[in-house]
Structure 1
Amino acid sequence: MPRLPGPPPPIRTFADLAATRGRARATDGHRRSTMGAWLPDHVADDFQARCAALAFARPEIVVTGWTAARFHGHQWPDSPEVVEVATGRRRLRRPGVLARQYDIPHAEIEEFSGPGGQPIRVASPAWTLFDLARNLERLPAVVALDGSSHFPVDARYAVTEMSNRYPERRGSAAARRAASEADPRAESPKETELRLFLVDCGFDSFVPQVKVPGCRARLDLADRERKIAVEYDGRGHLEAGQHARDLERWRDLISDGWIILPVGVRDLRYRRVALKAQVRAALVSRGWRPSS
């Protein structure tokens, strides 16, 4: 008589790691996420699962920075390979983990439910942006704030308010400066980079996403009074149909008296001096004079 199959093995959870055999932790049905943190075999390996595994191993951690930004739905999240956490006073050194040794105020911590219902403590949207703005260099900090338009807080106000409330926190002054330069109208990291480049050149009359009557699309950055547009021509514009539409739109704008200056990635990397001269020449041709 054939042997009937037995019941399927139970699905392992994070809590099954609490069982021990002698001095060894029971890891059957799990795979290592990082040193001391394990994932059940049936759980997909993504940033939430890695956070859940780490939260089970180290309940005191609070997810922050770019990882918290992913939880809150940031438009332009950084690499998901690294989990960024605040550890309070305890030190944490693990491969794939960026641990920052400081406390996050209890009022600025939210709880998410991870795989298998594992609770994950995550910095609030406001504190997440504050951490990004004070820990990153100027350009990535402003990019982080510009790309948070879907957050339930206004990035500029939230970061400024946090900087004023916690002036003793390292980098709070830098965070305040990043907030002053942020603009939620930006639609890509490269557009933010181009805008900051123009500001640094002293060309502060350009504003993002300008709508021109009769034009079917907004201009990336434009001086509306002088009818000068600086357009970032990224990879999405290389598709044949999009490129044809761009050319048609630019011809219409030129016919309407606009000066169009397309900018590519090589311009921002290698041709900044020439690009500055071209923008300056366009502005001067329309009556602009540098402020003294």
Structure 2
Amino acid sequence: MADAMRYRELRNSGISEGEIRGRVDRGQLWRPFNDTYLPATSARQLPHARLRALLVRLPPAALICRQSAAPLHGFGDFVTRTTDHRVHVLLPAGVPRPRLRGVVVHETALPAEPCLVDGVWCTSPARTAVDLARTSGRIDALPVLDGALRAGRCDLDTLAAEVALHSGLPGVVKLRELLKAADAGAQCRQESQLRLIAIDGGLPRPQTQIKILDASFITRYVIDLGWEESRVGAEYDGRSHLTAERAQHDRERHNWLAAQGWRMRYFTAVDIYRRPRHVVAVLRQALA
């Protein structure tokens, strides 16, 4: 048994009810969902074993989607993190909805192209990004689009085509506008949000990943976000525990950039989520 099987399939293979219970108790079998079993070795070795096991319990048309599909495509870190660990599943309208603990079913009348990633059938990268961004707030939607682009699984044209397919649905107008600001250069969710705050605050659109060259024309540092012509940089500072070595590196970097005429401004999660006006005011003053 290399992949997920249901109780009936185990019994038909000649394993008794008592032996099934015994294997579960001994840790030889893993039961991620009721009536779904995986050998412990497969659970450890197979990528996304829990999702593969879940698909055994669902209708054939089911696809892993939204928050649960984003990590499969490489941009899960750009999705707003919550304590909700439920699996999100997409089903065509009219298909009976299974009732499983820990599973959220989304019905859709819009056909979704199946995509196979590590043995898991899921929505395509563009569909995953659009479904997520369309149903998220503005501050959380842009990071999803940035993440999809950064992962290299789709481009702006693919995202725009997917948005067009969703025409008339809630959140689509917002996405058409945000696509103009989407950028594959963002390295994390907060960088995307910091860039959006600047744009929404009426500042010129900042550049991403600005390479700063030394006297030998070799890249010395890279600034996450900034305005090269004005020599103003903005970065998200999410480090909660700095080592002495890292602190020294950051001081050297800051001093070197300052010597080159760069005015660096650093912002925390508190600034981004609670004081966006402060962020805009600080950047506007630096640009002025």
Q: TM class by shorter-chain length?
A: 0.7 to 0.9
Residue 44 (1) aligns with residue 43 (2): yes
**Does the C-alpha gap of structure 1 residues 20 and 271 become closer, same or farther in structure 2, counting only changes over 3 Å?**
closer
Q: Tell me the distance in 2 between the aligned counterparts of 1:157 and 1:239.
A: 42
Among candidates 7, 31, 35, match of residue 17 of structure 1? 7
Structure 1 residues 58-80: Cα deviation after superposition (integer angstroms, max 9, x where no partner):
13311111222222222626569
1:103 Cα offset (Å)? 4.6
Out of 158-167 and 235-244, give the one that drifted further: 235-244
Q: Give the stretch that moved more between structures: 76-85 or 57-66.
A: 76-85
Query: Does structure 1 retain, via aligned residues, the 8 Å contact 2:63–2:123?
Result: yes
Please give the secondary structure, in 2, of the residue aligned with 1:181.
Answer: coil
Aligned pairs for 1:1-292 within 5 A: 11=1, 14-19=4-9, 28=21, 29=23, 31-34=30-33, 36-42=34-40, 43-44=42-43, 48-58=48-58, 59-74=60-75, 76=77, 78=79, 81-89=85-93, 90-103=96-109, 105=111, 108-112=113-117, 114=119, 120-148=120-148, 149-154=150-155, 156-214=156-214, 216-235=220-239, 238-284=242-288
Q: Which moved more, 1:181-190 or 1:199-208?
A: 199-208
Instruction: Name the Cα RMSD after superposition.
Output: 3.0
CA contact (8 A) 2:63 2:121 kept: yes
5+ residue gaps, structure 2, are: 24-28
> Structure 1: 5+ residue runs without aligned partners?
1-10, 115-119, 285-292
Cα 1:137–1:266 change in 2 (3 A) is: closer
Shift of 1:12: 7.8
Instruction: Extract structure 1 runs of 4+ deviating beyond 6 A.
Output: none
Counterparts of 1:232 and 1:186, CA distance in 2: 11
- SS of 2:185's equivalent in the other structure is coil
CA contact (8 A) 1:64 1:86 kept: yes
Q: Which has the larger radius of gyration?
A: 1
Aligned residues of 2:67 and 2:76 also touching (Cα < 8 A):
no
Mapped partners of 2:231, 2:241: distance in 1: 22
Listed one character per residue, the Cα deviations across residues 222-247 of structure 1 (whole Å, up to 9, x for unaligned) are 11121111122221883332322222
TM-score using structure 1 length? 0.77
CA distance in 2, matches of 1:235, 1:54: 36
Aligned length: 263
Q: Deviations over 1:77-107 (max 9, x none)?
A: 656932111022232443222211115535x
Matched residues in 1 for 2:226 and 2:6: separation? Answer: 58
The one-letter amino acid paired with 1:38 is T
The percentage of aligned residue pairs carrying the same residue is 27
SS at match of 2:212: coil
- Partners in 2 of 1:180 and 1:98 — Cα distance? 31
State the alpha-carbon separation in 2 of the partners of residues 198 and 273 from structure 1: 9
Amino acid at match of 1:134: R
Shift of 1:134: 1.6
Structure 1 pair 255/12, CA: closer, same or farther in 2 (3 Å)? closer
Contact 1:47 1:81 (C-alpha < 8 Å) held by counterparts: no
Alpha-carbon separation, structure 2, partners of 1:88 and 1:191: 35
Question: CA 1:262–1:138 in structure 2 vs 1: closer, same or farther (change >3 Å)?
Answer: same
8 Å CA contact 2:134–2:141 kept in 1: the answer is yes
TM-score when normalising by structure 2: 0.78
